[in-house]
Chain A
Amino acid sequence: MDGYRHIIEWLGLIVVGGPLLLIPVLGIPALLSYPLSERFITRAGQTVVVAGLLASLGILGIMLTVHTNQVPIDIGNWVQIPHYHLFLKIEFDRLSVPFVILSFVLCGTIGAFAARYMHREPGFNRFHVLYSLFLAGMIITSTAGTIETLFTGWEMVGLSSALLVAFYHERPAPVRNGLWVWTVYRVSDAALLLASVVLHHASGEGNFDKFLGTASWPEGHTVLTEQQAFLVGLLILIAAIGKSALVPLSGWLPRAMEGPTPSSAVFYGALSVHLGAFLLLRVSPLLDQSRWLCAIVVLVGLTTAVFGAITARVQTDIKCALSFASVTQVGIIVAEIGLGFRYIALVHILGHACLRTLQFVRAPTLLLDYHNIENAIGARLGPNNSGSPNGLSEGWRMWLYRFALERGHLDSILMDYLVRPFLRVFETCDALEQRWTDWLSAGDSRQSEHARRTAAAPDDFL
């Protein structure tokens, strides 16, 4: 019995340690201004992915042969003070193993794709450092056995995603959209962090197997009361909403299409957009405890699906159309989780991720595809107005089109009713502070703010 545990521990080390090791291997030389060759970077990435994939397949094989559903690997207590302990643990079970395999397959394929696609791009190295950060984040989140471990991976995914959206930082639009993504992620991170604090407060535990019961996923039973489960579940749902672009935070997903095609493909179209759903799956015993929570999850999921489907119908560009299609499916997946179809949701995630990645990677070939399909059919492919609500009056149809074209006004609602008031509070504080410092310095205390753009060199005049 112990023999196989030992092997799994070693394999687990390869699965998690490989991607973690890749970050400094690619990142530190770049920091020291020692550029690595494209060849080396690609090889290093491939080695890690292939080793990780084989190791995770090995784990799957062992788990199937010895009929075990859950293998936790402790990495020990890192902080232990009264009332709190930080415990790191990874866990291989029926949920994490498929997710790890999926991550390796997709990241590996896209890594090979990017090696050629990004060839000679000035940011080649940066892309691959962020890619390794993302990969490590995905693996850690998938295999996390405690909420703190999960949070670590969750943050790595968030950071690398935002930076990849802003990959072309010499143009303003990617930077702006990168910031948008980052802000939404921070909101969802805050919710997850709060959830973990509440958990510790309520049960004194962040270990999934403690507060979700020792039975292997998805049969666990939480030790929390219904109210506690509802509160924690709600916070986790908020985290999931942000990460999975559910209503009302869906607006970031099309904005994430600023990066190079491979990063949009694997990161936002396929993997990271499912992390919210994964989180809900991971804590699904909480859902069992609270019916209200389930109802809310289903409601959010279905709203998102309907919203995504309507919006996708008016998108005129391939990447936005695909990203709203992703939103639709993730909405359905979340609804499935709320309804208790855990395995269906898992299969749905795997299938959706693969198909969407393929579609994203092939996005630039859209024109050729259309050409070929039109030749085969022998007619033009015009708008088919499928799903168009014919029963509606013209005014309503117009309204619906506008609603879809403006993406449900979600971003402007957030901007006008959430962001602006939030900023206004700080601006008011800032004005107060300035008054105070002006008084203290008996005059203008912020000359630097009035500095004008300096005159350009005489050379700039044409």
Chain B
Amino acid sequence: MKVAAELLPSQGPITAFVFLNTLQALEGLPVEEGMKKGSRLFGCQVYLPEDRYREHLVNGRILREDLEAELEEDLQSRGADVIAGLVTRKAWRMAMLEFPLRFGPTEELQWFVAESGALDHLRDEMHDSLRQPFINETRQWAMRDLRMKTSESGIHRQDSLLQHNLFGDLLARFGADSIERWSDATWETFSLQALWRISRHGVHIRDDHPLPVPQPLRHQNWMQLATGEDTDRLVHDVLIRFCAAYADQGFAPWALPKRNEGLFRSFAALYGQPSGVPDAWMQGLTREIQRIERAGLTPLQSVLESLELLGVGEAEWPEFIPATCLALRGWAGLLWQMEVRADRVPVPAPPGTLVEFLAVRLILDRVALVATARRHGMETQPLSELRNVLQKMLAAPPQASIAQRAFLVFQLAQVLGWSAPRLAKLTKQDWHDLIFEMEAFSGHERRRLYHEAFERRFRVNSLDAFIVHACRPAKRVESPRYQIVTCIDTREEGFRRHLEEVAPTVETFAAAGFFGVPIYYRGAADAHFATLCPIVVMPKHWLTEEVALTLEEEHRRRAQTRKAIGQASHQVHVRSRTIAGGALLTAAFGVLASVPLVGRVLFPRLTSKLRRRLGKFVETPPVTRLCLERSQDPPGPENGHVGFRVSEMAEMSERLLRDIGLTSGFARIVALLGHGSYCLNNPHKSAYDCGACSGGAGGPNARAMAAMLNDPRVRAILYQHGVEIPRETVFLGGLHNTCTDVVTFFDLDLLPSSHRADYEFVIRTLAEACERNAHERCRRFQSAPLNLSFAAAHRHVEGRSQDLAQTRPEFGNASNALCFVGRRSTIRGLYLDRRSFDQAYDPKSDDAEFTILGRILGAVVPVCSGINLQYYFSYVDSPGFGAGTKLPHNVVSLLGVMNGPASDLRPGLPWQGVEIHEPMRLLLVIESTPDAIRKIMARNAAVERILRNEWMQLALLNPDTKDMLLYRRDEFTPYAPITTELPQTESSTNWYRGWRDHLGFAQIRPTSSPASHH
């Protein structure tokens, strides 16, 4: 059960989107094995289709040398083995990779051979230098050996006779008499025909060691193979509806009866009653449930009984139970999450719900199997024999046919230039080896190789760029105008880069976007606490916001108005679905609905402006405060227990400053920016919010941290610990809206008037950086013209966020591929195309135990690899691992989305959110040494698991020598850069303009000081 539960999707309510490795349960395995096992368990693809990679080979995204290098590494010494005396294993595999091979069912291949001219013309891919020898060899052989009835020498007598039998009629068909006058075209055709025949003849041998074919596990699989009927369809129809009713968080006006007695009991109560006319197949269900009720079985006992009745022995459980749970994995996973993370849903499920789910599912499975088997006239007593009955109905498991194998050899022989006479010399053992080699390098293996080459090309380009750029002299910005700390998010890479271009005197840092403040937070206008910290952390503190005392009266009045409006709109929402209320609403006021309908669809920006203006009258008054300081222990959500002690504040503040290496050289203003995304009509909205705040906006965290750092008592403690923050330094907390590219600050009323001018500079430069950032984002939106001005681009992204019809309000972290942990000065001025997570870390200030780096990696490795692999799997198999296209999505139970009226829940990211992604494992580059990493891996099991099993690629940049080490197979090996130069550009805009796809690296070298212009 536990194995099954770990495999299930870890997505709870979709309002807090969770970025975790889809195959997290398999992270204990090396990545290749984990991928393979995951692919089989989930029945999904883990790599792109081969054709996609081959396209990349054609357009230069993958180079031939990448393939060769990866093959070399993969095969090691085995690459030099010669197969069948013809070719080395490496060359053989290279040929299988490089040239498109045609696979297909036997019938299709036979048709293809007969109709497409495959036997008339050599393959186009065949190299020119091979063509003539290929034909000449066959020609000589035909002239010399084939025509003679008996060989003169007598040695190859047997062979020749055989060959004569094989080719005699072929010669006759082409006209053996006129053989000396055959044209070149005839010889080409003849060579191919001969090759085809010899291939067919050669592969016609007995398979001594056929590759194992996985056998189906569940009864449903067997039933589907034998009769074509899917019993899961029947079962899921009931189960989805029921699970949705059980999991419902209060959408349906009527709650499920007896819900509080648990899933099993409430199912038994609902379906155990005799009800009018159930579906034909469910007629046995009532009796079965009543029997179980009478016997008084607990859910667990019922599971055991079902397994026994189905004839599933204990040895099979470890595979059978996960497979059964995975058959409806979205719902099963959600119930499991409601059970184990009860703090994240308003209406949780009690422990043991997943077992109850399994019990219900197995009962339904049994009933459906019996009904289906009966309809097909099968024996159903006892049910435990059903699998054997079905197995007998099936033919032998599918295996490669002669034609399929022969056609592969035929294709490969051409591109390798093997003519018929060469193959004719092969012995039986040779043929055997050849076939084994061919099938051992299966589609899955080829795609893995391709994938590694795909990653390699990017890795080489990135590491080269890092090395070249790091070698230039670098130091921190001297006496910066202001400093800014953003989230490590890839979206902030672009934002910071533009800011640095707009204002070169600004210094930027990055830290995980909850700024080390894990909290349950409730704003002044919120009804509930939201969790703002990474999913792996359980917050221990609560934080609330309240309106300034002077505005208390105003606040109360507005809250009442909001409440009235809220209640009214809820009534409209619910009543419009009833008889009387609906009739009144639709008949009397329905036509008025056309006004917002037309307005919001045709004029989204205008309508939203209007709404915002009206909203001004009811929103919370502008001056609010965080209840930051706690007066009573322990921390809790009640008054007095909210907030932190000063010592806790100091501890968190110091940790953040030390983590990012900002312990000296403070500017007059230090801004901390959380981020969030605002968009409409998007159930997956929280997937665009801050990943480090588990799908929330990190504004409150930034605000809290800034307030702590401004507290003189905190500063006093920090001073004692050796961090001196100058008196004139002011911290500002803010929020970056990544969808509209707008920055807002909190607690501005507390800003000293002495800092007014500094603040205005901050605002002006940030606004310009936002416009440019929006402009760079627009290049990825197909519906935004490439020639927009900065201001127009900003308007465009604002429009996107207000548009009901917009399915791509932004692209989130879709372009992620890199993660850099080190000093900003090392990579400042390097164009990273919004593809890099960036965590500030100063190796110089770390201790001998690498405490700081350990702390950083403890968060960065799981969080970033979670985001990266979530995108990876949602991209490579969108309908399987991802959520598919979002257009038919349907919000259910206020928790998730289904496809259309009923389907499994869709965890994962929708296609519209990942379509620009390049699926690659994240490449983590750290300014550090192997010693540090080894120490940290020994301390932290999660980091060790991910890095050692290579679910993330790791490279180390030596902080002093700028040498690069690559970590593979648990070894650090020096990486030798290929290039020593990078393209140079005046500004980011100059580099990216006019281009929609991913871009290469470049160094930004402004020639003149940037002026404020558009």
**Which A residues are closer than 8 A to B by beta carbons?**
105, 109-110, 112-121, 167-168, 171, 173-174, 177, 254-255, 257-262, 305-306, 309, 312-322, 324-325, 328-329, 332, 344, 347-348, 350-359, 361-388, 394-395, 397-399, 401-406, 409, 412-413, 415-416, 420, 452, 454-462
**Cα of A398 to Cα of B682 in the assembled complex, Å:** 35
Contact indicator B893/A354 (Cβ below 8 Å): no
With A309-B579, A367-B683 in contact, is A375–B105 under 8 Å at CB?
no
How near does chain A come to B340, taking the closest CB pair, in angstroms? 21
Contact indicator A357/B898 (Cβ below 8 Å): no
How near does chain B come to A320, taking the closest CB pair, in angstroms? 5
A329 neighbours in B (Cβ, 8 Å): 582-583, 586
A-B CB proximity, top 3 nearest? A351-B590, A376-B566, A457-B103
Which of B183-191, B247-255, B294-302, B470-478 is the interface stretch?
B247-255
**Cα of A87 to Cα of B646 in the assembled complex, Å:** 88
How near does chain B come to A43, taking the closest CB pair, in angstroms? 14
List 13 interface pairs A-B (beta carbons < 8 Å), by A numbering: A117-B806, A119-B807, A167-B888, A317-B901, A322-B577, A351-B589, A367-B891, A373-B566, A373-B569, A386-B253, A406-B275, A416-B277, A459-B442
Known A-B contacts: A113-B804, A398-B270. Give 17 more (CB < 8 A): A114-B805, A173-B903, A313-B252, A318-B251, A321-B252, A355-B593, A367-B894, A370-B894, A373-B570, A373-B573, A376-B565, A377-B570, A401-B257, A404-B254, A406-B278, A416-B277, A462-B39
Instruction: Tell me the B556-578 residues at the A interface (CB within 8 Å).
Output: 559, 562-563, 565-567, 569-570, 573-574, 576-578
How near does chain B come to A169, taking the closest CB pair, in angstroms? 12
A409 neighbours in B (Cβ, 8 Å): 275-279
Contact indicator A455/B401 (Cβ below 8 Å): yes
The answer, among A113, A305, A458, for a CB contact under 8 Å with B405, is: A458
**Cα of A322 to Cα of B574 in the assembled complex, Å:** 10
Contact indicator A369/B602 (Cβ below 8 Å): no
B103 neighbours in A (Cβ, 8 Å): 457-459
How near does chain B come to A346, taking the closest CB pair, in angstroms? 10
Instruction: Tell me the B268-286 residues at the A interface (CB within 8 Å).
Output: 269-271, 273, 275-280
What sequence of 0s and 1s flags, for each residue 871-900 of chain B, a beta carbon within 8 Å of any chain A beta carbon?
000000001000001111111111000111
Query: Does chain A have a CB within 8 A of B915?
Result: yes
What sequence of 0s and 1s flags, for each residue 232-246 of chain B, a beta carbon within 8 Å of any chain A beta carbon?
000000000110110
What sequence of 0s and 1s flags, for each residue 364-407 of chain B, a beta carbon within 8 Å of any chain A beta carbon?
00000000000000000000000000000001001111001100
A332 neighbours in B (Cβ, 8 Å): 579, 582-583
A381 neighbours in B (Cβ, 8 Å): 250, 570
A369 neighbours in B (Cβ, 8 Å): 569, 573
With A109-B601, A117-B805 in contact, is A318–B565 under 8 Å at CB?
no
How near does chain A come to B883, taking the closest CB pair, in angstroms? 12
Query: Does chain A have a CB within 8 A of B585?
Result: yes
Which of B54-62, B523-531, B723-731, B1000-1008 is the interface stretch?
B523-531
Query: Does chain A have a CB within 8 A of B94?
Result: no
Contact indicator B254/A119 (Cβ below 8 Å): no
B806 neighbours in A (Cβ, 8 Å): 116-117
B583 neighbours in A (Cβ, 8 Å): 329, 332, 348
What sequence of 0s and 1s flags, for each residue 790-826 of chain B, a beta carbon within 8 Å of any chain A beta carbon?
0000000000000111111000000000000000000
Say what secondary structure dominates the interface of chain A: helix
Contact indicator B898/A359 (Cβ below 8 Å): no
Contact indicator B439/A255 (Cβ below 8 Å): no
Chain B: CB-nearest residue to A361: B804
With A328-B579, A386-B578 in contact, is A261–B888 under 8 Å at CB?
yes
A372 neighbours in B (Cβ, 8 Å): 566
Query: Does chain A have a CB within 8 A of B680?
Result: yes
A387 neighbours in B (Cβ, 8 Å): 253, 578
Chain A: CB-nearest residue to B401: A455
Interface centre among B399, B585, B591, B601 (most CB of A within 10 A): B601
B592 neighbours in A (Cβ, 8 Å): 354
**Cα of A314 to Cα of B577 in the assembled complex, Å:** 11
Contact indicator B566/A377 (Cβ below 8 Å): yes
The answer, among B279, B562, B596, B804, for a CB contact under 8 Å with A415, is: B279
How near does chain B come to A172, taking the closest CB pair, in angstroms? 8
Chain A: CB-nearest residue to B102: A457
**Which B residues are closer than 8 A to A by beta carbons?**
14-15, 36, 39-40, 103-107, 211, 213-214, 241-242, 244-245, 247-248, 250-257, 269-271, 273, 275-280, 346-347, 395, 398-401, 404-405, 408, 438-439, 442-444, 525-528, 559, 562-563, 565-567, 569-570, 573-574, 576-579, 582-583, 585-594, 596-598, 601-602, 680-683, 685, 782-783, 803-808, 879, 885-894, 898-903, 912, 915
Chain A: CB-nearest residue to B564: A376
With A348-B587, A358-B593 in contact, is A168–B888 under 8 Å at CB?
yes
A115 neighbours in B (Cβ, 8 Å): 805
B597 neighbours in A (Cβ, 8 Å): 109, 354, 357-358, 361
Contact indicator A306/B579 (Cβ below 8 Å): yes
Contact indicator B527/A375 (Cβ below 8 Å): yes
**Cα of A405 to Cα of B594 in the assembled complex, Å:** 32
**Cα of A372 to Cα of B247 in the assembled complex, Å:** 21
With A177-B901, A376-B563 in contact, is A121–B885 under 8 Å at CB?
yes
The answer, among B400, B890, B912, for a CB contact under 8 Å with A257, is: B890
How near does chain A come to B568, taking the closest CB pair, in angstroms? 10
With A116-B806, A305-B579, A354-B594 in contact, is A405–B241 under 8 Å at CB?
yes
B346 neighbours in A (Cβ, 8 Å): 380
The answer, among B211, B244, B439, B586, for a CB contact under 8 Å with A352, is: B586
The answer, among B254, B570, B681, for a CB contact under 8 Å with A362, is: B681
How near does chain B come to A361, taking the closest CB pair, in angstroms? 6
B803 neighbours in A (Cβ, 8 Å): 116
Chain A: CB-nearest residue to B444: A462
Contact indicator A109/B527 (Cβ below 8 Å): no
Chain B: CB-nearest residue to A332: B583
**Cα of A305 to Cα of B888 in the assembled complex, Å:** 27
The answer, among B14, B578, B680, B887, for a CB contact under 8 Å with A118, is: B887
A371 neighbours in B (Cβ, 8 Å): 15
A351 neighbours in B (Cβ, 8 Å): 585-591, 593
Contact indicator A374/B590 (Cβ below 8 Å): no
B885 neighbours in A (Cβ, 8 Å): 121, 168
A347 neighbours in B (Cβ, 8 Å): 587, 591
Contact indicator B900/A362 (Cβ below 8 Å): no
The answer, among A312, A314, A318, for a CB contact under 8 Å with B891, is: A318
Chain A: CB-nearest residue to B524: A375
Contact indicator A261/B586 (Cβ below 8 Å): no
**Cα of A369 to Cα of B569 in the assembled complex, Å:** 9
Contact indicator B563/A316 (Cβ below 8 Å): no
How near does chain B come to A384, taking the closest CB pair, in angstroms? 6
Contact indicator A364/B889 (Cβ below 8 Å): yes
Contact indicator A119/B593 (Cβ below 8 Å): no
Contact indicator B444/A353 (Cβ below 8 Å): no
Contact indicator A314/B890 (Cβ below 8 Å): no
Contact indicator B590/A383 (Cβ below 8 Å): no
**Cα of A409 to Cα of B282 in the assembled complex, Å:** 12
B255 neighbours in A (Cβ, 8 Å): 382-383, 385
B271 neighbours in A (Cβ, 8 Å): 402
**Cα of A404 to Cα of B247 in the assembled complex, Å:** 17
**Cα of A363 to Cα of B682 in the assembled complex, Å:** 9
B253 neighbours in A (Cβ, 8 Å): 313-314, 383-388
With A324-B577, A348-B587, A375-B525 in contact, is A109–B602 under 8 Å at CB?
yes
B585 neighbours in A (Cβ, 8 Å): 351, 355
**Cα of A164 to Cα of B398 in the assembled complex, Å:** 37
B563 neighbours in A (Cβ, 8 Å): 376-378
Chain A: CB-nearest residue to B575: A386
A382 neighbours in B (Cβ, 8 Å): 250, 255, 347
How near does chain A come to B177, taking the closest CB pair, in angstroms? 41
B915 neighbours in A (Cβ, 8 Å): 120
B14 neighbours in A (Cβ, 8 Å): 367
Chain A: CB-nearest residue to B245: A316
